[in-house]
Amino acid sequence: MTDARLNKEAYNQVSRLKSLNATSSDPKFVLEKSQFDEQDNETEATASSIQPDMFIIGRIFPDSEVFKEGAFKIEIKLKVGYPFEPPEVRFLTPIYHPNVDKDGTFSHELLNKNAKYKTTITLHEIVKAVIERIDQPDLLYPLRAEVGREYAQNRSDFDLIALENVNKHALPRR
């Protein structure tokens, strides 16, 4: 597959994410920015032009008790080899969570080429997996072991600290 066809696929995936722009959609996601923003009114050939890594920025709206009070900005990086290379997801909004490192790095087996990633996985499915992981942490493979331990062994302390972080850092849900 040529680079132009890969970029066309990325363009189609971003267009589908854009159609989710509502907090009532499933998954709850609002697209804020992508490299295709300026190209929406241009020809299809523009969407097929060769580009370096692409970045998508949007907000997720988790449903779990602690995290449902805010929205969280994420960045999805589509590497040059996408969809043959899995995207990378990073939280731009600080979040206290076992599967999100202090620098915002997010961990999920769906984003691991050697685990469950397949070229047929859509960005829609990735956004859904991110939200589900925030709502239901994977305690077997945490990026922050101490936060995972706290979640498992002292849930009330975890909830208190996580909620304080939501109140301090999360974006409004609108």
pLDDT tens digit sequence for 70-104: 999 999 999 888 888 999 999 999 999 999 999 99
Structural domains present in the chain: 3-169 (3.10.110.10)
In this prediction the pTM is 0.86
* Token couple for 123: 């960005």
pLDDT tens digit sequence for 3-27: 555 578 888 888 888 887 765 667 8
3-state secondary structure the chain: CCHHHHHHHHHHHHHHHHCCCECCCCCCEEEEEECCHHHCCCCHHHHCCCCCCEEEEEEECCCCCCHHHCEEEEEEEECCCCCCCCCEEEECCCCCECCECCCCEECCHHHCCCCCCCCCCCHHHHHHHHHHHHHCCCCCCCCCHHHHHHHHHCHHHHHHHHHHHHHHHCECCC
How large is the average pLDDT for residues 48-65?
84
